[in-house]
Structure 1
Amino acid sequence: MGLTINQISACGRELFVVDIVFTVVTIGFLLMRFWSARISRRKLYPDDIFVIFAFVAKSVLTGAAFWGTFNGLGKHIYLLNLQQLTVQVKLLLISEFTYTLGTAAIKLSMLCLYHRIYTTPTFRRWNYFVMALVVAYIITFLPLLLTNCVPLSQYWDPKPGGWCRDTLIYDMATVAANFFLDLAVLILPMPVLWSLKMSIRDKLTVTAMFSIGFVTIALISWRSAVTVRTRGSPDWTGSLCKVGEIATLELYLGIIAVCIPTLGPLFNAYMKPVFSKLGLTTMGAPKSGPNNLYLRTWGSSGTKKRVQNYSELNESADRIVSRDNSIRLGTTGESKVVSECTFKPKHETLLQSHSQDGIHVQRDIESQYHPKKTQYFE
């Protein structure tokens, strides 16, 4: 018989509150993610699919946690009847299964996002390597989990002839693998990021955005300590609730972390104009100074032509398309042109083609060419 809300354990109440609050917050971040995708008029990519899968896995875990909470999760083992104890054992199996799938999906979502952002061949080779490690993690640990007890029902209904491995070994191996993979996913883009020609402030901002996952690494370390204490205690149902609470925070924060880097279009559409009105600069905006010039572009509205000044290409209403339609730049915030004018006569060499009474401008343009792939721009 299930417990009432007043009869559940103190840890069960904490888990109940954490699940409800973070479910609402996570749904909010997912909605913002897909609203940003709509603003930029892009289709769904693999990173979007994986983050949805991770949320589904966490939702299943949340339902199982509620089931366990109202069947004595967090209470001392001697206070539970046989039916409630059976529920706790089944909950342990369900939570391990959904946790493994959820954490793997979060890592694959971030790695697929890296694949869209960074296009250098060297980085992509390393990215594929880490992806392969995550896939190997799934292929290795899921069969191990499902064969920890043979038959599977030996978990909650022991029978003569059945057997079970020591689950502590599996739990610690899972924690170690997650720790290593999370660290690899977080460190992977940092060398490329810090080699970009960006201000220190922008680099620190982007680094902080990607480094939210370090919180999940801290949670993994905490979870490993609690897991050892739980498995080594005969009163394991009392501390199992805390393990579930830590795993819940780890999954929710992981989903939020992979959503934050995709919110740029939403920020540019709604927050950037507010900051501009307040006179605040945003990341990537050219700072005022004598060296910055404005890009002068021609745009069209119907049949009328106009000329305007823009500090960034994404502030323009122009749509630039190459002749073969292989490159298309729109107002999605993915393009920027800022000119810098400097005067250093001691360090410049005057060529014969240069007149003595003119101003000479040299512009270095760095670009990347992608063969025509419609999904990049639609």
Structure 2
Amino acid sequence: MQAINDTTQLINIFGFPSYDNFREPVPFTNQASCLIGFTSAFLALSWIFVCFRLYVRLRVVRMSGLDDLFVFLYLVFTSVASIVFLVSIKYGTGRHFLLLTVGSVKMYLKLFYVLNINLNLSAAFIKLSLLCQFLRLFDKGTWAYRASIIGLVFVTLWGLTFVILSVFPCTVISDAWNIFANNPRCWGYASQNPDLFTATLVSHNLINTVFDIYITAIPFQLYFQPEVTSRTRLGLMVLLLMGATVITLSTWRIYETIYYKGGWYPTHDPTWYGPKSILLMVLEVNVASICASVPIFWPVLRPYLGAIFVTREFSVKHEIRETESSSLPSRGRTGSETELNTYYNDPYVTDLVDPFSSKDIGPKSRIGSESDRRKTNRWNWFRG
């Protein structure tokens, strides 16, 4: 038997698998261009949207809160997770596990350890941010406020549980990436039991999906309130679609995890069957951050967009005004000079053109300000 070192391929140590998957076509999500492109693009979008949000909260309205702290922590941890995921491509992500060298596998498992911790933290913090955001929106004592409090408690417990499992996967943490460890005592994310490993992933993903549905449903009840404007209803529909995207990605990840048993089925090949699930979770938390950020900065950004794209609404009202001495035709100021002079003797017209006039003459305008005509919009994310 040849000496084992970091350049030895695993296939030379463990032999060929009972199921030969080496001839399977390379999935699209295993290609480096796909992993780099999607991860980088969605991370960049997340940075843009979250930075807009933080700028509005910290510099414009100056009303920051716990939701902003949590979204900042999310941004830190998801950035670390995305970078680690991209680095793992160099050490085997997307390739067959048995064709990797011992050194590459050790590095891949170390990166997976770091990646798993940061993804779990990211998923928890973005949900905590959204729920704290709801506490600003809803009045105390309402069912939506109480639902947000309940959500905060359960998300915190869920996040702590799985973060602890990811930080301490073995009695000796280094056994999580030491494939030659003697009798390692590992569980959860580092378990060598396929059923236990799959159950850990599925339970996290399933609870995560339930929370996604729960959080999406809380603000949507505003859609059915009579005082909500059509513009707000449209915004709620957009947020609902974004929330549905998060739920779809989460559900898809559950299916992938169950079908491939976390990389153990039809043969143990985590670097070949696992990238799609990891990519889906990266995309999921990034889309969730966009959902959490858009309602914060959009009301501030919208007037500037209105200056670029002319979409202002206006109404034209016609009033018939009778004058004391006017015998002019009702259409326009046409006629002789005498008639025009008579027109400008009208006290209502004189009041409009004379800069020194102080009379309050003429009928009061029936057109109120926009703020008077609109009912209070409860979808106010800036209310502390």
TM-score (normalizing by structure 2)? 0.69
Q: 1:257 to 1:367 in 2, by over 3 A?
A: closer
- Return the alpha-carbon distance in structure 1 between the equivalents of residues 277 and 112 of structure 2: 10
Q: 1:57 to 1:279 in 2, by over 3 A?
A: closer
Selected match of 2:264 from 221, 231, 244: 231
The reply to whether residue 139 of structure 1 matches residue 169 of structure 2 is: no
Could you say which residue in structure 2 is the equivalent of 1:301? none
- Return the alpha-carbon distance in structure 2 between the equivalents of residues 227 and 367 of structure 1: 42
- Return the alpha-carbon distance in structure 2 between the equivalents of residues 289 and 133 of structure 1: 53
Could you say which residue in structure 2 is the equivalent of 1:330? none
Q: 1:226 to 1:265 in 2, by over 3 A?
A: same
Could you say which residue in structure 1 is the equivalent of 2:373? 338
1:28-73 Cα shifts (integer Å, max 9, x gaps): 2123223333564323221111111111111111221122111121
- Return the alpha-carbon distance in structure 2 between the equivalents of residues 34 and 366 of structure 1: 25
Selected match of 2:72 from 38, 48, 52: 52
**Ranges in structure 1 where 5+ consecutive residues have no aligned partner:** 3-8, 282-286, 291-306, 313-335, 340-364, 369-374
- Return the alpha-carbon distance in structure 1 between the equivalents of residues 221 and 48 of structure 2: 31
Q: 1:366 to 1:260 in 2, by over 3 A?
A: closer
| Secondary structure at the counterpart of residue 164 of structure 1 | coil
1:102-124 Cα shifts (integer Å, max 9, x gaps): 01111111111111112241221
Query: How far apart are residue 12 of structure 1 and its match?
Result: 2.5
Could you say which residue in structure 2 is the equivalent of 1:327? none
Are the counterparts in 2 of residues 186 and 213 from structure 1 also a CA contact under 8 Å? Answer: yes
The reply to whether residue 311 of structure 1 matches residue 369 of structure 2 is: yes
Answer 1 or 2: which has greater strand percent.
Answer: 1
- Return the alpha-carbon distance in structure 1 between the equivalents of residues 114 and 72 of structure 2: 19
**Ranges in structure 2 where 5+ consecutive residues have no aligned partner:** 1-5, 8-28, 188-195, 318-363
- Return the alpha-carbon distance in structure 2 between the equivalents of residues 38 and 109 of structure 1: 16
The reply to whether residue 148 of structure 1 matches residue 169 of structure 2 is: yes
- Return the alpha-carbon distance in structure 1 between the equivalents of residues 159 and 236 of structure 2: 29
Give the letter for the 1:137 counterpart: W
Could you say which residue in structure 1 is the equivalent of 2:185? 163
- Return the alpha-carbon distance in structure 2 between the equivalents of residues 22 and 104 of structure 1: 18
Q: 1:366 to 1:311 in 2, by over 3 A?
A: closer
The reply to whether residue 212 of structure 1 matches residue 245 of structure 2 is: no
- Return the alpha-carbon distance in structure 2 between the equivalents of residues 145 and 235 of structure 1: 20
The reply to whether residue 241 of structure 1 matches residue 299 of structure 2 is: no
TM-score (normalizing by structure 1)? 0.70
| Secondary structure at the counterpart of residue 161 of structure 2 | helix
Are the counterparts in 2 of residues 36 and 265 from structure 1 also a CA contact under 8 Å? Answer: no
The reply to whether residue 191 of structure 1 matches residue 213 of structure 2 is: no
Could you say which residue in structure 1 is the equivalent of 2:15? none
1:306-334 Cα shifts (integer Å, max 9, x gaps): x997623xxxxxxxxxxxxxxxxxxxxxx
Q: 1:89 to 1:257 in 2, by over 3 A?
A: same
Taking CA–CA contacts closer than 8 Å with sequence separation of 6 or more, which of the two structures ends up with the larger relative contact order? 2
Selected match of 1:20 from 23, 28, 40: 40
- Return the alpha-carbon distance in structure 1 between the equivalents of residues 42 and 377 of structure 2: 41
Q: 1:74 to 1:192 in 2, by over 3 A?
A: same
Moved more, 130-139 or 209-218: 209-218
Q: 1:90 to 1:196 in 2, by over 3 A?
A: farther
CA-atom RMSD in angstroms: 3.1
Query: How far apart are residue 267 of structure 1 and its match?
Result: 2.5
Rg larger in structure? 2
- Return the alpha-carbon distance in structure 2 between the equivalents of residues 214 and 32 of structure 1: 23
- Return the alpha-carbon distance in structure 1 between the equivalents of residues 39 and 229 of structure 2: 39
Identity %: 21
Are the counterparts in 2 of residues 77 and 236 from structure 1 also a CA contact under 8 Å? Answer: yes
Superposed counterparts of 1:1-378, under 5 Å: 11-37=31-57, 40-122=60-142, 123-157=144-178, 158-165=180-187, 166-200=196-230, 202-228=232-258, 229=260, 230-232=263-265, 233-275=267-309, 278-281=310-313, 288=315, 311-312=369-370, 336-338=371-373
| Secondary structure at the counterpart of residue 146 of structure 2 | helix
| Secondary structure at the counterpart of residue 190 of structure 1 | helix
Give the letter for the 1:11 counterpart: Q
Give the letter for the 2:305 counterpart: M
Query: How far apart are residue 270 of structure 1 and its match?
Result: 0.6
- Return the alpha-carbon distance in structure 1 between the equivalents of residues 36 and 231 of structure 2: 39
Q: 1:338 to 1:40 in 2, by over 3 A?
A: farther
| Secondary structure at the counterpart of residue 163 of structure 1 | coil
Are the counterparts in 2 of residues 76 and 235 from structure 1 also a CA contact under 8 Å? Answer: yes
Give the letter for the 1:222 counterpart: W
- Return the alpha-carbon distance in structure 2 between the equivalents of residues 366 and 67 of structure 1: 50
Are the counterparts in 2 of residues 32 and 266 from structure 1 also a CA contact under 8 Å? Answer: no
- Return the alpha-carbon distance in structure 1 between the equivalents of residues 122 and 377 of structure 2: 37
Are the counterparts in 1 of residues 264 and 270 from structure 2 also a CA contact under 8 Å? Answer: yes
Are the counterparts in 1 of residues 31 and 94 from structure 2 also a CA contact under 8 Å? Answer: yes
| Secondary structure at the counterpart of residue 70 of structure 1 | helix
Give the letter for the 1:266 counterpart: V
Query: How far apart are residue 246 of structure 1 and its match?
Result: 1.2
